[in-house]
Structures are given as structure tokens and as C-alpha cells.
Amino acid sequence: MRLKLTLTQKRSMLGLLFIAPWLIGFIFLFAGPLAQSISFSFNKLTVSPGGYELQNVGWSNFTDALFVDANFNRILTESILGMIVDVPLILFFSLFSAVLLNQKFRGRGIARAIFFLPVILASGAVAAAESSGLINLVGNAEVAEQLGQASSQFNIRSMVMILFEAGFPISFIDYIVEAVMRIYEIISNSGVQILIFLAALQSVPGSMYEVAKIEGATAYETFWKVTFPMVSPLILTNIIYTIIDSFSDSPVTKMIYETAFKTQNFGLSAAMAWLYTIIVSILLLVMGYIVSRKTFYHN
């Protein structure tokens, strides 16, 4: 007898099939090291001729990371605050760029490649090739230093005075200043998010725009009543991706690596890693809960 499945069950099976490669890789490649890192965080690891020995120290590694280490709390706080500042800016820039790149104009393919170029240049392969001398993206160090000094001549004080005289609150001015100071990081970290938003924009049915045009909706109204609700599910996706992507070049990640492989304190390093993971996971849950309540799903 042929088993009849509902549409919801078929979609669930398709979702499981989609994540099956990741799930298999996690079980066979990551589950073991993950459990091992939990064990390391509650022990003092000592390298021995036969491998390593573990001495149980309880919560000592966690208390040392939070209350003894002079830099972990500061770097962790700065990293989390920087993440909170960067995520909205990256999402806004990505959506704005995707809307522009979705328009029909000559050279659209080249423009899309240019926006994705920072992702390629920031990849590990390019960085490794540059460090090994195979390619040279920076050029002469003196020239790079001169360019850096020239780019830093922008007078941020004048912009602050203009915004302050316009009546904007101090918190908003601080946020704008942070955005200007981080403009390179925002652009270089927006390539994948632009592609995701671009795919979402191209999946919006053209009939919806035709109906909006017949009803006399302006471009502004069409964006907020049609475009934005249709791409809202991908906003949550991009938030999660942006937060997870911040792990790659986070100062906390670098500190965890140095603690493990330079000072040989693997227990403290594992405790730092789990503290960072727990805090970021809480941030993900809070952001996911808030955004999912405002997300529109079109069936």
C-alpha cells in the first residue's frame, strides 16, 4: 500500500534531506571534538609522552576566564557590542544594495561581481596566497601607509556637530559615527547577504508588483507593502549568518586560539570558547524570537 503524505510532511522530509549532508558531517566529524572540548573545559590538560592527561578542576577554568583573566571580559564585551552595531548596518546595506542590483541596467552582472568581490578577497585562500608571497594585494608598505593616512583625513568632528545641531540624540549620533568608522568592515562583510537578499527579490512574483501598480501604489509604498514583507524571512537568515560569520575574525576567537596554542592552557581556552558560544547563542535566540514575530511567510 502506497503511503500518502500530506504537504507538510513532504516539506518536512525535503527539509531533512536538505540538511542531511550537514547532519552526517556533524555526527561523524564534529560531535566527538565538541564533547571533548566540554571535557577539556572542566579539566587541566597536561601533555604527556603518551598523549595527554586530564586533572579535574571543576568550574575553575570558567571562573579564571571571567574573574582572573585581565583581558577576556573586556575583549568579549567589545566583541559583542561591535556585533550588535555591525549586524543592523550590514543588513541595511545589504538590502539597499540588493534592491539596486535587482534593477535592470547595463553592466548589472559586473556590478554584482564587484559587490561580491570583497568576499573573495577576504577568503582564506586569498589570504594564504598573499601571506606566502604568491600574490601581492597590498603592494609597497609605504604606499599603503600613505593611503591609510589620506583616508583618515575625514573630519568626523564636523559630522558630529552637524548632526548635533540638527537635533539628533547623542545615542543616534554615536551609532552613526560607529557606522562611518566601520564602513570598510560593513562593505567587506555584506557580499553573501547581498546575494541572499537578491535571490529573495528575484523570487517575488511579478504579478504582485503589477497589482500594486494598478492600485496606484508609489514606489515607496510598493517597497514597504510588497518587497519588504516578501524578503522578511531572509532577514532572519541573514541575521543568523552575520552573527555566525563574525566568529571567523573575532578578537575573542583569536584570544581563544592564542590561549590554547601559545600558552598551552587548553582547559582555559575551552572554557572561554564555551562562554563565548553560550553568550552568542543567547543573542541568537533573542534576535530570532524578536524578528520571527514580525516575519511574513507567503505560502
Any domain includes 18: no
Any domain includes 238: yes
Adjacent-strand bridge partners of 45: 54
* Residue 111, C-alpha cell as written in the block: 556590478
Any domain includes 138: no
Any domain includes 36: no
Cα atoms found within 13 Å of the Cα of residue 263, Cβ hemisphere only? 13
Q: For residues 11 and 112, give the distance between their C-alpha atoms in angstroms, rounded to a whole number.
A: 32
pLDDT tier for residue 129 given thresholds of 50, 70 and 90 = low
Please tell me the predicted confidence (pLDDT) of residue 42: 92
Q: Residues 172, 206: contact at Cβ < 8 Å?
A: no
Q: Residues 201, 231: contact at Cβ < 8 Å?
A: yes
Any domain includes 240: yes
Q: Residues 156, 177: contact at Cβ < 8 Å?
A: yes
Distances (CA, A) of 166 to 8, 112, 158: 53, 36, 12
Any domain includes 259: yes
pLDDT, averaged across the chain:
80
Any domain includes 177: no
pTM value surpassing 0.85: no
List pLDDT tens digits, range 38-73.
Answer: 999 998 888 877 778 888 888 999 999 888 887 888
Please tell me the predicted confidence (pLDDT) of residue 143: 47
Q: Which range marks the domain in which residue 72 is found?
A: 58-106+189-299
Q: For residues 99 and 4, give the distance between their C-alpha atoms in angstroms, rounded to a whole number.
A: 41
Any domain includes 255: yes
How many domains does the chain divide into? Answer: 1
Please tell me the predicted confidence (pLDDT) of residue 62: 92
Element (H, E) at 265: none
Average pLDDT over residues 198-218: 87
* Residue 3, C-alpha cell as written in the block: 503511503
Please tell me the predicted confidence (pLDDT) of residue 18: 92
Please tell me the predicted confidence (pLDDT) of residue 20: 93
Share of the chain above pLDDT 70, in %: 84
- CATH of residue 212's domain is 1.10.3720.10
Element (H, E) at 51: strand 51-56
587548553: which residue's cell?
266
